[in-house]
C-alpha cells in the first residue's frame, strides 16, 4: 500500500483517501439501483375483454406477496369515478374510530321510510348494514360523524379526490367524491396490512364484516357498489386470502355491482386463485 505524508507529519494510507471519495459514489449508484427497481412495476395485462360483454370497464388485481400487478384497460384504471356503496368500507372505519358507533353490533332503528330494497326496511347493525348495503344506515352514521371529522380522516387516508362537498350524507353517491380502481387497490392494500390511520382492532372489524365467502382454502372479502340512479356504474372491491398469498382487487364497469362481482369471480377462477 502506498504511503504519503500529511502536512502535519502524520502518515496516512492512500486507501483511506480513496475510500472517502468512493463510498459516496458507491452509495449514489446503490440508491439509483434501488430507485430503478422500485420504478419497474411487475405489471401484466389481463386479457378478459370477453367477460365484460361489450361494457366498458376495468380491473386491477394485485398480489401482495410479490407485488405483481394485473390490469385490464389501464386507461380506465386511473379514471376517478364515484365510489357509491364501496365507500361503506372507509365510512365504517371512520364511524368506529370516531365512536359514532360503539361497535359493529350497535343497532340503529329503522325510521319507517319504505325504501327500494326490502332488506333495508328494518333495524340494522353496522355489520348487517354492510352486508345488505343499507344506504340509510350509513347516511345516518355520516351525519353523526360530521363534516369536520369526516374530512379530517378523508385527508389522512388520501381517499380519491377527498371531495365531500356534495353533502355529508351523500357525497359518495353519484356526487363529488371520486376514486379510481388503482386508488381503491392502494387503499385496500393498506387495510389488509392494517396500515391505515385507525386502531388495528377497528381495521380487523371492518375486514371481518367484508367476508362474503369462507372456504377451507380461501376467504373472500368484498363490497359491491352500484349507481342506483341509472344502474350505469358498478363496482366490486375487496381482497382474497388463500393458503399461500393475498390478492387485492377493484373492478368497475358501466353496469352493476353484481356484474362487477361476477367478473371478479370468473377472473379469480381463470387465474387459479380459487377453484
Report how far residue 46's alpha carbon sits from residue 41's, in angstroms, rounded to the nearest whole number: 15
- Hey, which residues does 211 pair with through a beta bridge? 221
* Active-site annotation holds for 85: yes
Q: Which of these, 205, 194, 215, 193, lies nearest to 265 by C-alpha position?
A: 215
Report how far residue 251's alpha carbon sits from residue 56's, in angstroms, rounded to the nearest whole number: 11
Report how far residue 92's alpha carbon sits from residue 115's, in angstroms, rounded to the nearest whole number: 21
Annotate 167-194 with b (16+ C-beta within 10 A) or e (fewer). Answer: ebeebbbbbbbbbbbbbbbbbbbbbbee
| Cell numbers placing 262 | 361476477
Catalytic residue of the set 85, 92, 125, 133: 85
Catalytic residues: 85
Amino acid at each position: 500500500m502506498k504511503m504519503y505524508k500529511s502536512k502535519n507529519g502524520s502518515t496516512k494510507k492512500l486507501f483511506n483517501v480513496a475510500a472517502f471519495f468512493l463510498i459516496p459514489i458507491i452509495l449514489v449508484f446503490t440508491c439509483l439501483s434501488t430507485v430503478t427497481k422500485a420504478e419497474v412495476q411487475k405489471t401484466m395485462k389481463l386479457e378478459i375483454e370477453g367477460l365484460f360483454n361489450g361494457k366498458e370497464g376495468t380491473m386491477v388485481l394485485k398480489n401482495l406477496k410479490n407485488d405483481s400487478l394485473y390490469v385490464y384497460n389501464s386507461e380506465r384504471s386511473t379514471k376517478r369515478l364515484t365510489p357509491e356503496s364501496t365507500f361503506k368500507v372507509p365510512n365504517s372505519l371512520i364511524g368506529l374510530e370516531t365512536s359514532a358507533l360503539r361497535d359493529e353490533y350497535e343497532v340503529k332503528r329503522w325510521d319507517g321510510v319504505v325504501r327500494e330494497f326490502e332488506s333495508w326496511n328494518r333495524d340494522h347493525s353496522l355489520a348487517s348494514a354492510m352486508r345488505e348495503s343499507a344506504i340509510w344506515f350509513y347516511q345516518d352514521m355520516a351525519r353523526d360523524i360530521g363534516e369536520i371529522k369526516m374530512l379530517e380522516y378523508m385527508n389522512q387516508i388520501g381517499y380519491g379526490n377527498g371531495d365531500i362537498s356534495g353533502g355529508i350524507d351523500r357525497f359518495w353517491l353519484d356526487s363529488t367524491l371520486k376514486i379510481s380502481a388503482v386508488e381503491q387497490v392502494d387503499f385496500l392494500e393498506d387495510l389488509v396490512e392494517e396500515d391505515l390511520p385507525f386502531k388495528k382492532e377497528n381495521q380487523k372489524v371492518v375486514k371481518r364484516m367484508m367476508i362474503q365467502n369462507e372456504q377451507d382454502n380461501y376467504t373472500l372479502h368484498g363490497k359491491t357498489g352500484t349507481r342506483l340512479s341509472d344502474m350505469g356504474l358498478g363496482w366490486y372491491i375487496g381482497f382474497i386470502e388463500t393458503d399461500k398469498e393475498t390478492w387485492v382487487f377493484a373492478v368497475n364497469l358501466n353496469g352493476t355491482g353484481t356484474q362487477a362481482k361476477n367478473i371478479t369471480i370468473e377472473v379469480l377462477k381463470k387465474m387459479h386463485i380459487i377453484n
